[in-house]
Amino acid sequence: MSIPQLGIAAADIADVHHVRAKSRLEEFSGDLLTSDHVLIEVWFLASSRLGLDVAETLVNKVRMGLARVEPAISADLEIAAQIHDKFFDQGFSIVDRTSWAIMQRLGVYEAIAFDQDYSIYRFGQDRHQALRGQLDVKVEQEINVDI
């Protein structure tokens, strides 16, 4: 299962997805997966919105086993470029595109995401297959911390 933005939603009590993010983390019994790109994005967003201490705490939780971190490889960047070309009108971020490439490479098709792009993206033959999981629209809001 991929966990983009999940850490921030779980850490930020003012986040519209806070309760659902914490609940999903508690109820999920499988192995959580994230990418090195997502981890860097989470650190950057958390440090700018919640402070350096929160950002470091989130990264340390991942380091201590919250999720496996899969590095993006050159082939993932090539797939991310192809996704850009196929969905040129969507403006998908490089972090999302490399996440989807990694997920495809590893055979992971379920995600916890609070980003509308995850409900738009399609893969597989003729790009008809959608990701499964908790897919909601991301909403920006005030920041409070609950770690």
Instruction: Tell me the mean pLDDT in the region 51-56.
Output: 92
- In-domain check, residue 94: yes
Q: Distance from CA of residue 45 to its chain's centroid? A: 12
Coil/strand/helix, residue 123: strand
> Does residue 146 form part of some domain?
no
Structural domain that includes position 102: 6-135
pLDDT recorded at residue 96: 87
Q: What is the pLDDT of residues 125-141, one digit of tens each?
A: 666 555 655 444 433 33
Please check whether residue 141 lies inside any domain of the structure: no
Overall domain count for the chain: 1
CATH code, domain with 92: 3.40.50.1010
Q: Phi-psi region for residue 110, left (φ > 0), alpha (ψ -120 to 50) or beta?
A: beta
- What is d(CA 136, CA 120) in angstroms, rounded to the nearest whole number? 11
Residue 22 placed within a domain: yes
Whether 140 maps to a domain, the answer reads no
pLDDT (0 to 100) of residue 30: 72
Does 142 reside within a domain?
Answer: no
- Domain for residue 143, yes or no? no
